[in-house]
Structure 1
């Protein structure tokens, strides 16, 4: 067959490069490590099946549930959606009490659904701390994790379903500079054995990371561009590592805190991150849109300390009108009528603008910014 002429080569090559660029762009979006948390604290939300259908219609391939709602689990069958299945804090004492209890729980909420429901993680408790409002259940977290793990392991599923817990930034004692991140001294006796278990089980730590609360708690030292991923230059230098956004700095302070325990390597999954569109200082539609758009673009890049994709779950799917205080009603990507709040796209859409529940928000430990 005759070769292409020089003219046709000049015409086709740019087109091929453009097609390759478009394919790569779509691939990056569809491969993005993004999930969305499905909270249910609203009296006007769609049915569980409608919600699962909405995830699928928008190519949202990961979900976090805060409790093992059986109607939601039924709706998730054969959906292909990867799931973080939560165990509420008020269930921890029962699961810590005996292996029989964890076996029964696992049979009811895991084995009766898996593998048609693609359960990836089990989050045993959310934002439990040995100091503060949740201190009463902190003693149950590790034994509940261990019992649930043994129940999962008895079925040979410990490599498919990882058992962990979700923390927030209040457990971090020092976060600046990120490489000097460390856990608070008064939580180490609680957290170190959990970290030891995570190393043993090769399970990630789940962490809720909110630049919004760091910024709103200290807008003098933390600039809005730094919090929204819009700073044009490096804001914080930490040795050879430059930080252009607060999300990376906060997440790397967790990485460093884990490393600095010297217990062993533990991966971090960001189990919640979001920005409210109303209800408090800095909570505006434009700020929320900018943060979420940039977050979904950014997570495939990783952080200066941990390059590579960072699995991240956005809080939340819907505005939830039964939450308090006011700002907690405004974290949704969608309105309860299933209309998008933002012009976000997941998966094969080349929108280039994207697109967490029963959670007690705490002001995050601030990270200094020089803007």
Structure 2
């Protein structure tokens, strides 16, 4: 093979690596604010920043209209308050026909997130699996099963133990809830969606978790071979999946972010550091799953001034409501 051809192949393969890394980043679009741009302006902002994936928390038809022809990949949520209605096969079919099939010609749906952070003790816990099965069946009936996978989004509180990461295991209370859900995902080649927040782990345990470990700025590994809390959290989930007999289910990080104000460690400087380092880091893998990139959705596009909960909840935006960037971040 000629040196020129070898060089060309090397260049093409490095472009491929760059593209794969870039493809792994999405941004969650929460709309709990009374000062946010129009749906069309939001989609235009995604496009102008090269953000190729969006997570919508509910079937927002204004956003779906704006996404037509955009080529942006979409996670569409069945919100928790609609779970009950899709435990009925007819209800699930209506939901998919109205919000997915009607747009699927020119909106790139990738996943349907059936419920978000439903916990085993919640009244809705028993609805997640039947809702998931019905949405999956409705996607198949609409002939979209080759394009769209149905899953659900969990948080890391389902773990009974998370350290060291190899000892990660679902809690006794969560195991009977999550195991049949994960078995269903495995049968259908769907990933598990997980919201992973080193920030909250850090705030809850500052005496033993260093800020550098949470922000990807720690030099060298800790005693169990981890350099950052994000990898440790993700690998503890993978270890928990192994222990319920499903080592091949992939995890998509459906939320991860850092607030710019409101509590300990929440500052513009720290948040900017977290987002930049996270974007760079997920091009690769974790110690347990070294073959990246890790498909990851940053939380969130904007500060949401009407969001409930702690003050930090209103300060996760990558952009201000006037669409100016809060941080210097390169999404691709």
TM-score, normalised with respect to structure 2: 0.93
CA distance in 1, matches of 2:194, 2:246: 18
The one-character-per-residue Cα deviations of 1:79-128 (angstroms, maximum 9, x if unpaired) are 000000001101011100x2111111000000000031100000000000
How many residues align structurally? Answer: 323
Tell me the residue number matched to 2:305.
321
Tell me the residue number matched to 2:118.
128
TM-score, normalised with respect to structure 1: 0.84
1:179 to 159, 166, 176: 166
CA shift at 1:153, angstroms? 1.0
CA distance in 2, matches of 1:49, 1:340: 18
Tell me the residue number matched to 2:226.
243
CA distance in 2, matches of 1:256, 1:264: 8
CA distance in 1, matches of 2:102, 2:190: 23
Instruction: Decide whether the 8 Å contact of 1:208 with 1:270 is kept in 2.
Output: yes
Tell me the residue number matched to 2:276.
293
Tell me the SS of whatever aligns to 1:275: coil
Instruction: Decide whether the 8 Å contact of 2:276 with 2:330 is kept in 1.
Output: no
Q: Which runs of 4+ in 1 moved over 6 A?
A: none
Give 1 or 2 for the bigger CA radius of gyration: 1
Instruction: Indicate the larger mover: 27-36 or 146-155.
Output: 27-36
Pair 1:32–1:230, CA change in 2 (3 A): farther
Tell me the residue number matched to 2:325.
340
* Structure 2: runs of 5 or more not aligned: none
Tell me the SS of whatever aligns to 2:69: coil
CA distance in 2, matches of 1:115, 1:245: 41
Tell me the SS of whatever aligns to 2:325: coil
CA shift at 1:26, angstroms? 9.4
Instruction: Indicate the larger mover: 157-166 or 26-35.
Output: 26-35
Instruction: Indicate the larger mover: 150-159 or 209-218.
Output: 150-159
CA distance in 2, matches of 1:114, 1:162: 13
CA distance in 1, matches of 2:208, 2:316: 24
CA shift at 1:20, angstroms? 5.8
* Structure 1: runs of 5 or more not aligned: 1-12, 348-371
CA distance in 1, matches of 2:28, 2:133: 25
Tell me the residue number matched to 1:76.
67
1:107 to 81, 84, 97: 97
Pair 1:264–1:179, CA change in 2 (3 A): closer
Instruction: Decide whether the 8 Å contact of 1:236 with 1:244 is kept in 2.
Output: no
Tell me the residue number matched to 2:285.
302
CA distance in 2, matches of 1:247, 1:84: 22
Tell me the residue number matched to 1:89.
80
CA shift at 1:231, angstroms? 0.5
CA distance in 2, matches of 1:30, 1:47: 29
Tell me the residue number matched to 1:228.
215
Question: 1:18-33 residue pairs with structure 2 within 5 A?
Answer: 27=18, 31-33=22-24
Instruction: Decide whether the 8 Å contact of 2:21 with 2:293 is kept in 1.
Output: no
